[in-house]
């Protein structure tokens, strides 16, 4: 019986194939050879699995069993798939302002410029320009955090879970930390506050009930092993009805009476009054500081509107202790992120966050302005209808809160033959640029609130292609 493996081309012959050799210069020789070997090995596996029938003697002697052109095309496809970045820009027309799956907060132009500027060459990241000696990357953010928040000192690590981990590992390892049972939350992706606390080495002590926890519950739980009381803001869900929660002021009194620390995990990192925009009040860093917390932790990439980061602010002596912990190095930010956080905080310092920070600009945009843009989209496309809807804040911030908006609604009459809302939404997602809307009641809804005006033309072109127009 003939050997089917004899029908496979050699690595050298496939490398010399004109389709494969044309890839020279697009990928290194070693990588191209590796792709060719992988394709040939895949063909060999298909033979071994019985997916390819054994050839006759004539086939083995007269020609290669596998079509060289087909194998060469497979090599090209693998190279292109690997070399094409999977992380791409997306137009967010979903109406969810802080969309976790779409990268949370878009950055301001000044923030992008600052990150680009320090990425082009060398910087004084850990160099003291005045003295000419070694400096610390942790010092660059300290002044801006102090100024904007009003605290004694501050630092940043790579996200808010890291900030909590650093604080507890440094200040409460092997000791008890008291938290309300209603605040032992899951923070997304299956990660939970109790898990982070256990990883830090702190001993979790839950008090109260899911819906009601009083200051006396915390006071009764304090022992000689207690290091801190931790308040965690439930920023990604809301409990309503028969509820009670101890205020930070009350917790400050308990902490003072028993000589323990008061820590506040604020979650989304709000620095502006959300009630001004018709939203529920969100705890701010300034309010936390005024209540007397020792340290607060919050995200940089949610309501703050900057790059991913976890910011710790509060007492200088505690911040200095955090800086000396080995985790501070493991969780540190790179130069671009430090520059980006600084630039974002500078918008608040200048009093221009509402107009310069995209998240706040979206929140502050009047409904009439959004309706006008939706009407302009409809006119340019000649299809769809403008209807009222709601934009969600999202991203673990202001749970359940939404803003009035107007959306362009594409319905069955606008879809291609045999098309559907699901297929059109998929075509928009898979297009270039990718456009992410939402599907409701067999309609594709596109919300201008979360689309930058500079993206309008691209979105209109993408919709035309998705509709086959």
What is the pLDDT at residue 462?
A: 97
Identify the structural domains of the chain with CATH numbers, from first to last. Answer: 4-83 (no CATH), 90-98+361-466 (3.90.1150.180), 107-356 (3.40.640.10)
Contact 314, 289 (CB under 8 A): yes
User: Long-range contacts of range 125-129, CB-CB < 8 Å, 24 or more positions apart?
Assistant: 125/335, 125/338
- How is residue 131 written in tokens? 């003295």
State the Cα–Cα distance between residues 351 and 147, nearest whole angstrom.
12
Pairing of strands 226-232, 176-180: parallel
Position 183 scores a pLDDT of 79
Q: What is the pLDDT of residues 294-313, one digit of tens each?
A: 999 999 999 999 999 999 99
* Structure tokens that stand for 126 in this block: 């850990």
Instruction: Supply the pLDDT for residue 61.
Output: 33
Report pLDDT for 58. Answer: 39
Segment 436-459 mean pLDDT = 97
Whether 401 shows a pLDDT value over 50: the answer reads yes
Task: Please tell me the least confidently modeled range out of 93-97, 208-212, 241-245, 426-430.
Answer: 241-245
What is the arithmetic mean of pLDDT over 8-21?
91
Confidence of residue 59 (pLDDT cuts 50, 70, 90): very low
Q: At what angle do helices 109-119 and 335-349 cross, to 10 degrees?
A: 150
- 8 Å CB contact between 442 and 409: no
What pLDDT is stored for residue 52 in this prediction? Answer: 60
Of 317-331, 333-347, 364-378, 390-404, minimum mean pLDDT range: 390-404
For the record, the structure tokens of 179 come out as 């938290």
Query: What mean pLDDT is predicted for residues 49-65?
Result: 50
Is residue 83 scored above 60 in pLDDT? Answer: yes
Lowest mean pLDDT among 8-22, 61-75, 116-130, 148-162: 61-75
Regarding predicted confidence, which is higher, 65 or 403? 403
Overall average pLDDT of the 332-343 stretch? 97
The reported pLDDT for the residue numbered 156 is 97
| Token pair listed for 239 | 């409990």
3-class secondary structure per residue, the chain:
CCCHHHHCCCHHHHHHCHHHHCCECCECHHHHHHHHHHHHHHHHHHHHCCCCCCCCHHHHHHCCCCCHHHHHHHHHHHHHHHHCCCCCCEEECCCECCEHHHCECCCCHHHHHHHHHHHCCCCCCCECCCCCCECCCCHHHHHHHHHHHCCCEEEEECCHHHHHHHHHHHHCCCCEEEEEHHHCCEEECCEEHHHHHHHHCCEEEEECCCCEECHHHHHHHCCCCEEEEEEECCCCCCCCCCCEECCHHHHHHHHHHHCCEEEEEEECCECCCHHHHCCCCCCEHHHHHHCCCCEEEEECCCCCCCCCCEEEEECHHHHHHHHCCHHHHHCCCCHHHHHHHHHHHHHHHCCCHHHHCHHHHHHHCCHHHHHHHHHHHHHHHCCCEEEEEEEECCCCCCCCCEEEEEEEEECHHHCCCCCCHHHHHHHHHHCCCEEECEEECCEEEECHHHCCHHHHHHHHHHHHHHCCC
Predicted pLDDT at 216:
93
385-392 and 153-157 strand pairing: unpaired
* % of the chain surpassing 70 pLDDT: 92
pLDDT, average across residues 346-360: 97
Q: β-strands 153-157, 310-314: how paired?
A: antiparallel
Q: Tell me the average pLDDT across 224-234.
A: 93
pLDDT exceeds cutoff 90 at 221: yes
Looking from the CA of 189 toward its CB, the CA atoms found within 13 Å total 7
Total count of residues recorded for the chain: 469
> Does 259 have pLDDT greater than 90?
yes
Beta bridge partners of 245: 213
Rounded Cα distance, 349 and 352, in Å: 8
Lowest mean pLDDT among 5-14, 33-42, 181-190: 181-190
Residue pair 394/97 in contact by the 8 Å Cβ criterion? yes
Binned at pLDDT 50, 70 and 90, residue 439 comes out as very high
User: Averaged over 244-261, what is the pLDDT?
Assistant: 93
Identify whether the C-beta of residue 419 lies closer than 8 Å to the C-beta of residue 295.
Answer: no
Angstrom distance (rounded) from CA 469 to CA 467 = 5
Q: Mean pLDDT throughout 424-436?
A: 96
CB 381 within 8 A of CB 462: no
pLDDT tens-digit readout, 121-134: 999 999 999 999 99
**Cα–Cα distance measured from residue 255 to residue 260, given in angstroms and rounded to the nearest whole number:** 5
Q: Which pLDDT belongs to residue 376?
A: 98
pLDDT band at 235 (very low <50, low <70, confident <90, very high): low
Q: Tell me: pLDDT of 56 over 90.
A: no
Q: Is 423 exposed, middle or buried (0-12, 13-18, 19+ CB in 10 A)?
A: middle
pLDDT at site 22: 92
Query: Tokens 């940089």, residue?
Result: 300
């Amino acid at each position: 019986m003939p050997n089917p493996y004899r029908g496979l081309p050699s690595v050298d012959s496939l490398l010399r194939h004109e389709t494969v050799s044309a890839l020279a210069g697009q990928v290194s020789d070693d990588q191209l050879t590796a792709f060719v070997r992988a394709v040939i090995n895949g063909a060999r596996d298909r033979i071994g699995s019985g997916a390819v029938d054994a050839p006759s003697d004539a086939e083995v002697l007269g020609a290669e069993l596998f079509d060289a052109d087909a194998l060469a095309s497979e090599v090209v496809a693998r190279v292109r798939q690997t070399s094409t970045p999977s992380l791409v820009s997306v137009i967010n027309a979903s109406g969810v302002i802080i969309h976790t799956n779409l990268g949370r907060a878009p950055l301001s132009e000044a923030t992008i410029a600052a990150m680009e500027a320090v990425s082009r060459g060398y910087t004084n990241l850990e160099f003291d320009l005045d003295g000419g000696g070694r400096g610390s990357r942790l010092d660059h953010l300290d002044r801006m955090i102090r100024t904007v928040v009003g605290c004694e000192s501050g630092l940043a690590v790579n996200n808010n879970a890291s900030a909590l981990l650093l604080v507890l590992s440094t200040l409460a390892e092997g000791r008890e930390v008291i938290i309300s049972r209603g605040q032992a939350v899951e923070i997304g992706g299956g990660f939970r506050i109790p898990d982070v606390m256990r990883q830090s080495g702190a001993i979790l002590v839950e008090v109260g009930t899911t819906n009601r926890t009083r200051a006396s519950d915390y006071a009764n739980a304090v022992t000689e092993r207690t290091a801190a009381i931790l308040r965690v803001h439930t920023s990604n869900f809301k409990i309503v009805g028969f509820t009670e929660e101890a205020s930070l002021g009350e917790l400050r009194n308990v902490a003072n009476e028993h000589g323990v620390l008061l820590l506040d995990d604020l979650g989304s990192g709000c620095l502006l009054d959300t009630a001004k925009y018709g939203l529920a009040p969100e705890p701010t860093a300034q309010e936390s500081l005024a209540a007397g917390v020792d340290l607060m932790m919050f995200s940089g990439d949610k309501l703050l509107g900057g790059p991913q980061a976890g910011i710790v602010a509060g007492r200088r002596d505690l911040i200095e202790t955090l800086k000396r912990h080995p985790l501070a190095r493991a969780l540190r930010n790179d130069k671009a992120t430090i520059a980006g956080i600084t630039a974002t905080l500078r918008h608040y310092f200048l009093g221009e966050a509402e107009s310069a920070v995209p998240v706040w600009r979206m929140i502050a945009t009047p409904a009439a302005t959004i309706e006008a843009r939706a009407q302009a989209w409809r006119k340019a496309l000649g299809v769809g209808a403008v209807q009222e809807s709601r934009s969600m804040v999202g991203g673990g911030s202001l749970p359940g809160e939404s803003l009035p908006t107007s959306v362009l609604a594409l319905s069955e009459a606008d879809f291609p033959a045999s098309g559907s809302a699901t297929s059109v939404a998929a075509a928009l997602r898979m297009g270039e640029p990718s456009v992410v809307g939402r599907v409701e009641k067999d309609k594709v809804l596109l919300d201008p609130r979360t689309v930058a005006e500079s993206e309008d033309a691209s979105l209109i072109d993408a919709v035309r292609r998705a509709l086959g127009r």
